[in-house]
């Protein structure tokens, strides 16, 4: 096995025991000590694949069929070199755009790391995208090649194929075709070279392209240790699809920087099948979004499982207090979280990597150590005191960079997310955060999930409206709506309860589980 894991280069860096120590000593320049490469000679695939022991697991994939596939670093290193050589032979050059639309599979990961190794640019596409979403990314990403399955061909506009001269590489043939290629390839990239274009999920408008360089993994290396709590003896699993940022950066790239295998789920998410994977792979550290953990708990047989979980972290949508309590009760774990944006990265986190960190359930932790100052502003750009809701802003070179989110911080310096600034409801002069109202609505036994928006009202201008999906065994009725309203009045206050309730079959969401609140807001006008 060679050098013990805990003595390898990547584990000798960033070794802070406490939050206090990291806050005092950590500098962002320290992150480069994790890697082999220099800024002038830096490649993601070398750092995540090629430099690790060839006989250790790199990938462990659980499919929704119940099947499992596992691959070593040695296998993945050879496949990605063969793929990079294939791209060269096909005339796909450095900087050319290659889209991939596949569920987690050996073909997906070979494409991901093979494109990086070649020096081309990856554009990940969620495999359940419809035609509009995939064509939007192909057009705006200037894609010249697409790796997918044959049954997805109908999604791509023929005119676009002709206009951009798009080449298709089919997953069904990929591994067999690679046998024709050399298994040796030397990357020629530096840390500033573009490696990926990720499109934002489009929860508030048209998806925007976010450009990442090879050097971006240096930030992920810090976050997975400080916030993700990754230890040298962990087995790591991420429920999120690598068709989205969380699944790529913190499901795939981050653990593999440290020579840990990426545990992944492929296909329609099922709680029991995921629990099978957690047992089989002996997972100790798991990441996902709130919905994943709700589905896992609903599987109903956790008590019969031989789980080794020690750490759980979530991102994306806020987790309800009810779910937090259920995770603590059923798994014996306190959920950790992190808050950031696709555009600027991590802003506030729970520091799961430090022994002295205390979670305040429901908060998003404290600002990233060594990073920009985080402040709360009023509408006139005045900095606000504790416990006062305002807009989140980063202080960069003396300027405020607003991110469009509302939050507040408490006297201990913990930040509490309220919602998107455009989502905050002003009713009769009161400022109302939809997240807090939703959390209370969701605690009612009849409610599976809810979304709260501001709705137009002739008398009050704007009122709080809740869209509610009911649990099985409950039927929509005026009586139930009144009961829920009274429940929220009693738990929060008379000005925060939803004056209007509409029962619906399901909430509109992006494929990665984020609420499309904009659709409900438009429906309420």
pLDDT category of residue 129 using cuts at 50, 70 and 90: confident
Q: Please, are residues 386 and 411 in contact by the beta-carbon 8 Å criterion? A: yes
The answer to whether the beta carbons of residues 83 and 106 sit under 8 Å apart is no
Number of domains in the chain: 3
Task: Decide if pLDDT at 30 tops 60.
Answer: yes
Q: Are residues 88 and 207 in the same domain?
A: yes
Q: Is 340 a residue whose pLDDT tops 90?
A: no
The last residue of one of the domains, among 368, 386, 421, is 421
- pLDDT (0 to 100) of residue 428: 63
Alpha-carbon distance 263 to 515, whole Å?
26
**When comparing pLDDT for 203 and 411, which is higher?**
411
One domain, residues 228 and 88: yes
* Same structural domain, 514 and 430: yes
How many CB atoms sit inside 10 A of residue 62's CB?
A: 26
Look up the domain containing 484 and give its range. 424-523
List pLDDT tens digits, range 496-524: 899 999 999 999 988 767 788 889 988 98
Separation CA 191–CA 119 (nearest Å): 11
pLDDT at 1: 52
For residues 144 and 92, the answer to whether their CB atoms sit within 8 Å is yes
Compare 430 and 212 and report the one with higher pLDDT.
212
Over residues 173-187, the pLDDT tens digits come to 999 999 999 999 999
Domain boundary pick from 421, 449, 469: 421
The pLDDT mean for the chain works out to: 92
Residue 131 lies in a domain: yes
pLDDT per residue as tens digits for the range 446-501: 999 999 999 988 767 789 999 999 999 999 999 999 999 999 988 877 778 999 99
Residue 513 is classified by DSSP as S
Q: Can you give the CATH number for the domain in which 151 is found? A: 3.40.50.12780
Residue length of the chain:
525
To the nearest 10 degrees (0 to 180), the angle between helices 290-298 and 271-280 is 90
Q: Are residues 393 and 428 in the same domain?
A: no
Per-residue pLDDT, 429: 58
| pLDDT attached to residue 204 | 47
Query: CA-to-CA distance for 263 and 80, rounded, in angstroms?
Result: 19
What CATH number did the domain enclosing 519 receive?
A: 3.30.300.30
Report the share of the chain in percent with pLDDT over 70: 97
* DSSP H/E element including 74: helix 73-89
The answer to whether the beta carbons of residues 424 and 397 sit under 8 Å apart is no
Task: Provide the CA 246 distance to its chain's centre, in angstroms.
Answer: 2
φ, ψ of residue 103 in degrees (nearest 5): -70, 160
What pTM does this model have?
0.84
C-alpha 327/C-alpha 335 separation (Å) is 7
Q: Which of residues 421, 445, 467 is at a domain's end?
A: 421
What's the CA gap between 139 and 80, in Å, rounded?
A: 26
313 in any annotated domain? no
Q: How far apart are CA 146 and CA 136, in angstroms?
A: 14
In a domain, 317, yes or no: no
Complete DSSP assignment for 92-140: --TT-EEEE---SSHHHHHHHHHHHHHT-EEEE--TT--HHHHHHHHHH
Do both 412 and 433 map to the same domain? Answer: no
pLDDT band at residue 200 under the 50/70/90 scheme: confident
pLDDT tens-place string over residues 405-436: 899 999 999 999 988 777 778 776 566 878 87
CA dihedral angle for residue 134, residue 138, residue 139, residue 140, rounded to 10 degrees = 100
Q: What's the pLDDT at 512? A: 67
């Amino acid at each position: 096995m060679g050098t013990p894991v805990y003595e390898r280069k990547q584990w000798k860096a960033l070794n802070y025991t406490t939050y206090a120590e990291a806050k005092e000593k950590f500098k962002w320049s320290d992150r480069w000590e994790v890697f082999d490469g220099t800024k002038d000679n830096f490649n993601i695939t070398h750092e995540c694949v090629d430099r690790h022991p060839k006989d250790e697991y790199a990938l462990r994939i659980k499919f929704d069929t119940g099947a499992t596939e596992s691959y070593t670093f040695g296998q993945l290193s050879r496949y990605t070199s063969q793929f990079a050589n294939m791209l060269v032979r096909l005339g796909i050059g450095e900087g050319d755009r290659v889209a991939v639309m596949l569920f987690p599979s050996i073909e997906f990961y070979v494409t991901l790391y093979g494109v990086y190794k070649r020096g081309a640019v990856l554009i990940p596409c969620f495999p359940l995208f419809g035609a509009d979403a995939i064509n939007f990314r192909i057009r705006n990403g200037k894609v010249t090649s697409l790796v997918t399955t044959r049954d997805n061909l109908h999604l791509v506009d023929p005119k676009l194929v002709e206009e951009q001269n798009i080449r298709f590489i089919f997953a069904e043939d990929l591994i067999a075709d690679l046998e024709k290629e050399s298994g040796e390839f030397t990357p020629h990239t530096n840390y500033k070279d573009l490696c990926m274009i990720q499109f934002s999920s489009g929860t508030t408008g048209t998806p925007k392209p976010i450009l990442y360089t090879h050097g971006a993994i240096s930030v992920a290396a810090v976050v997975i240790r400080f916030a993700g709590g990754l230890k040298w003896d962990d087995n790591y699993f991420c429920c999120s699809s690598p068709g989205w940022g969380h699944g790529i950066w913190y499901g795939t790239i981050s653990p593999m920087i440290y020579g840990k295998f990426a545990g992944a789920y492929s296909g329609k998410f099922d709680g029991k099948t995921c629990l099978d994977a957690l047992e089989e792979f002996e997972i100790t550290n798991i990441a996902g979004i709130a919905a994943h953990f709700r589905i896992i708990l609903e599987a109903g047989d956790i008590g019969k499982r031989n789980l080794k979980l020690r750490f759980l972290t979530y991102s994306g949508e806020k987790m309800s207090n009810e779910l937090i309590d259920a995770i603590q009760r059923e798994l014996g774990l306190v959920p950790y979280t992190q808050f950031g944006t696709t555009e600027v990265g991590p802003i506030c986190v729970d520091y799961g990597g430090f022994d002295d960190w205390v979670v305040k359930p429901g908060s998003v932790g404290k600002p990233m150590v060594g990073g920009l100052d985080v402040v709360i502003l009023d509408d006139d750009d005045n900095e606000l005191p504790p416990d006062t809701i305002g807009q989140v802003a980063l202080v960069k070179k003396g300027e405020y960079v607003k991110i469009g989110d509302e939050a507040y911080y408490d006297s201990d310096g913990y930040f509490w997310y309220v919602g998107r600034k455009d989502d905050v409801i002003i009713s009769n002069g009161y400022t109302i955060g939809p997240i807090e109202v939703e959390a209370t609505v969701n605690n009612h036994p009849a409610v599976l999930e809810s979304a709260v928006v501001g709705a137009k009202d002739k008398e009050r201008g704007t009122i709080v409206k809740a869209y509610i999906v009911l649990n099985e065994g409950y039927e929509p009725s005026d009586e139930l709506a009144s009961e829920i309203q009274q429940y929220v009045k009693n738990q929060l206050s008379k000005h925060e309860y939803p004056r209007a309730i509409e029962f619906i079959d399901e909430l509109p969401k992006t494929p990665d589980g984020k609420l499309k609140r904009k659709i409900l807001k438009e429906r309420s006008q």
